[in-house]
A and B are shown apart, each in its own frame.
Chain A
Amino acid sequence: MQVFKVIIKTIRKNLHVLSIYLVVFVFFLILMSSLQTSEGSTTFSEVKRSVMIINKDSGNVIADAFADFMKKSSIPIAPVETEEEMLDALFNEEADYILVIPEGFSKDFLSGSHTVQLEQQSVAGSRGAVWTDMKIRKYLDLLRLYTELSDVDANDTEAIAKLSAQVETQMNKETKVVYPTGVQKEKESSVPYFSKFMAYSLMAITILGVGTILKLFTGRDFKNRLRCSPEKTSSVNLQLVLGNLCFAFTAWAVMTLVCLSFGLKDGLKLWVWVLVLNSLVFMITTLCMSVVIGLVVKNENVRTFVANVVALGSSFLSGIFVPIEFQSETVRKIAGFIPAFWYVKAVEEAKNLTSYAWSDIQPIAAYMAIQLGFGVAFICVAMAVSREKSRHSI
């Protein structure tokens, strides 16, 4: 097992470079799991928007009740003090809408003149702005209806409070919502998300690792030294395949374990194991792709460059970093030629599995088969390249 030992030695020597991608992966998982807070439900849950409410007219019933309503019906964001912090919150999408209730708003509203307007900062025409504007209009239209038809005195706080309470009661009236049979909302698990990101790190590590091994074994001196050794060519090749496979499998196993341990809190359902199988298939395809890259690219710098371009490029185009449904038709068509695209499609399909009949699993199996098809194609290319190179060796 001389050849196998050399492979292990080579990997160990380059472990520091390869581990960068593992560190990035673990870092990502830690960050993302700390960000995830959403809870599932079996009934309709409104998609709420984050609104920063700054009430400069506090102490007045109208402004206070309105601010309370907005806080209850949105995801309230803690108010900030400076204008720049408000702009930051808007840019970073921490707040979809910044609502300032100016001083004198309540008094002006009751007078019916509506000259003191609410101050808002949002991205015009955005979903957050449309949603929040609807909420504001909904509440204030109702309040206007009550105040203007009841001729309430602006100084009669008790009567104003009663009106606000009436508005509040009306606001609690909701339309009944039903889901088609079989549609049950569940808490979204983080495992599919992690599983998708894993593909990026797996691609980078495998291309770099396999490239390093192949660079050594396809080097002229090393190859000639092997040829004059008593080791049979078939044995050398077998050990080479085994070594690469062991390396890729170890990288996959470590990442899968990390991924599963982070997703453990969401429960390991049956479809999680489908994801694991899918990632194993993707690992095989990536390994085949890495062999082609390793055979073609000899320069170490260029190899790192190719590893990054392939890993990052595939990740962006195939929906690992950015969901595929947000991408243009052209990008989707291009992405069809990338194995990672089919990997992501299988992940998306698997996470929605509720039953495991063949008809449910069939699309996932088809996506895995496409990935393996890519693998076979890569092996064919690798064999052709290898054959061509052996003609010119020595």
Chain B
Amino acid sequence: MFWNIFGYRMKSNVRDFSTLFWTLAFPLFLATFFGLVFPNITSSTVTFETVNVGFYENSAYGGDPYLLESLKSAKQSEGIDLFHVTVFESIEASEEALNNQEISGYAEVAEEVVLHMQGSGFNQTIIKSFFDQYAQISSAIRDVARDNPAALEEVSALFEKEVNYTTSTFAGRDKPDSILVYFYSLIAMTCLYGAFQGQKEIMNIQANQSQLAARQNVSPVPKLKLFGSSILSVTLVQYLSILILLAYLVFVLRINIGDRIGMILAAAFAGCCLGISFGALVGAVVKAGEGIKVAIIISFSMILSFLSGMMQSSVKVAIEKAVPVFKYALPGNLIANTFYAIYYFNSNERFYFGMALMIGISIFFYTIVILVLRRQKYASI
């Protein structure tokens, strides 16, 4: 009988297009928007790009032969230039290029170097930093030459010797990428939308909530069996929705969510159980019509998705910094952080903690649901 009901519930759930809209189509739509918008953000805001700078040397001035050479040869890293230098013949041409935003700034070289900038952005900071450094080193060399003229010969040898002052000790499993927060929150939202399914299944076994439930309640099937088969079928459908979303993210949008597939599948399953159990809890505890229950689920999942960084990733960071316990206490953040742990950390502690919490909360919710639903009798419907 269990598998019989399970089969029918499966058929019914797969054909329930209005719920599938929310649990499958809506996340896919959002994922497409994210996929369109976010890949460019990483490249333009985070990654360094060679800075366009202008150079104008006043002909009346004797000039510094090393300055332009240093500017052109400055490197960000091996093979990547720090600046793309345009030499201008007149100040008017330099101004025009600046106004047309062809360059981030230009240096007017006369008795002293004057930088002409528009705004105080990152590129302008890099330009200023270079010219400051040049001025400081020139001044230091003059300083040293004044105290110890013999040492001046050593200076060029000193600068020829390239010293590497830093070494990378990055201990993460993969590259930090804050854009992933948006995708984690999307996965969290999809898991939480499983609440619609959970609520619907509970409604279908409470005789005072739907006609189908009334019919099922008069049949000689124990309620626990009804509950178990319904929840199992809905969990399977919801899990499939999440798997489709994950496959879409990985194979179509090419989002790197980590390479530990087993852990990703396990986290998706636990998140799915958390969402459905939350819906079941609302369905069992709230004594109101379907509209109110759906409104509660929408409100919660919307606010929890917002807090897990779906609209602004900084919201998640701010909220977790202000109240650290929210990292795990808010279901959206809990799911997102478990996926984050899989992607980013070599150690599995956070992952296991997240998993234990998700499963623990789901069991807790289901226990309440069973306690509320068991031995429920209806004198009048």
Contact = CB atoms under 8 A, between A and B. Distances in A.
B38 A322 contact: yes
Nearest to B133: A138
A183 B124 CA distance: 15
Contacts of A135: 129
B169 A120 contact: yes
A130 B126 contact: yes
Nearest to B150: A149
Q: Which of B80, B99, B155, B299 has the most CB of A within 10 A?
A: B299
Contacts of A90: 170, 172, 176
Nearest to A172: B136
Interface stretch (B39-47, B57-65, B264-272, B367-375): B39-47
Interface stretch (B4-12, B112-120, B214-222, B224-232): B112-120
B155 A180 contact: no
Contacts of B98: 180
B364 to A, nearest CB: 26
Nearest to B125: A47
Contact of B340 (A91, A133, A166): A91
Contacts of A45: 120
B166 A118 contact: yes
A124 B18 CA distance: 46
Contacts of B154: 148-149
B311 A149 contact: no
A183 B48 CA distance: 26
Contacts of B119: 183, 185
B137 A87 contact: no
A183 B36 contact: no
B165 A177 contact: no
A369 interface: no
A312 B37 CA distance: 12
A387 interface: no
B312 to A, nearest CB: 7
Contact of A27 (B135, B137, B306): B306
B151 A87 contact: no
Contacts of B168: 119-122, 124
B361 interface: no
A171 interface: yes
Contacts of B177: 91
Contact of A44 (B128, B140, B312, B318): B128
Interface string B93-104: 001001100000
A176 B114 contact: yes
Q: Which of B129, B164, B303 has the most CB of A within 10 A?
A: B129
A142 B137 CA distance: 6
Given A136-B165, A142-B140, A321-B311, A331 B176 contact: no
Given A44-B124, A92-B317, A24 B303 contact: yes
B121 A47 contact: yes
Nearest to A319: B37
A125 B321 CA distance: 27
Q: Chain B interface residue count: which class?
A: 35 or more
B125 to A, nearest CB: 4
A317 interface: yes
Given A149-B151, A176-B112, A305-B21, A313 B29 contact: yes
Interface in A115-157: 117-127, 129-131, 133-138, 140-142, 144-146, 148-150
A175 interface: yes
Contacts of A327: 36-37, 40-41
Interface string A297-318: 0010110110011001101110
B136 A87 contact: no
Overall SS of chain B's interface:
helix
Contacts of B163: 114, 140-141, 144
Interface stretch (A28-36, A268-276, A286-294, A373-381): A28-36
A326 B41 contact: yes
Nearest to A93: B178
Contacts of B344: 87, 91
Nearest to A73: B129
Interface residues of A, number: 92
Contacts of B18: 299, 301-302
B244 interface: no
Contacts of A145: 137, 140-141, 144, 155, 158
A46 B125 CA distance: 5
A200 B151 CA distance: 66
A331 B37 contact: yes
B120 A148 contact: no
Interface in B313-336: 314-315, 317-319, 321
Given A183-B118, A317-B33, A171 B169 contact: no
A358 interface: no
A327 B42 CA distance: 10
A149 B34 CA distance: 55
A173 B169 contact: no
A365 B155 CA distance: 61
Given A91-B178, A177-B117, A309 B41 contact: no
- List the 4 closest pairs (A to B, CB-CB), nearest first: A301-B18, A175-B131, A91-B176, A117-B167
Interface of B: 18-19, 21-22, 25-26, 29-30, 33-34, 36-41, 44-48, 76-77, 80, 82, 95, 98-99, 112-122, 124-126, 128-133, 135-137, 139-141, 143-144, 148, 151, 154-155, 158-159, 163-172, 175-178, 292, 295, 298-299, 302-303, 306, 311-312, 314-315, 317-319, 321, 340, 344-345, 347, 350
Given A20-B299, A136-B166, A149-B151, 8 more contacts: A46-B120, A114-B164, A125-B80, A131-B122, A131-B129, A174-B128, A312-B30, A334-B36
17 contacts: A16-B295, A27-B303, A28-B311, A47-B121, A84-B350, A119-B167, A120-B166, A124-B168, A135-B129, A177-B115, A299-B18, A304-B298, A305-B22, A313-B33, A317-B37, A322-B38, A326-B37
Interface of A: 16-17, 20, 23-24, 27-28, 31-32, 34-35, 44-47, 83-84, 86-87, 90-94, 99-100, 114, 117-127, 129-131, 133-138, 140-142, 144-146, 148-150, 166-167, 170-171, 173-180, 183, 185, 200, 299, 301-302, 304-305, 308-309, 312-313, 315-317, 321-322, 325-328, 330-331, 334
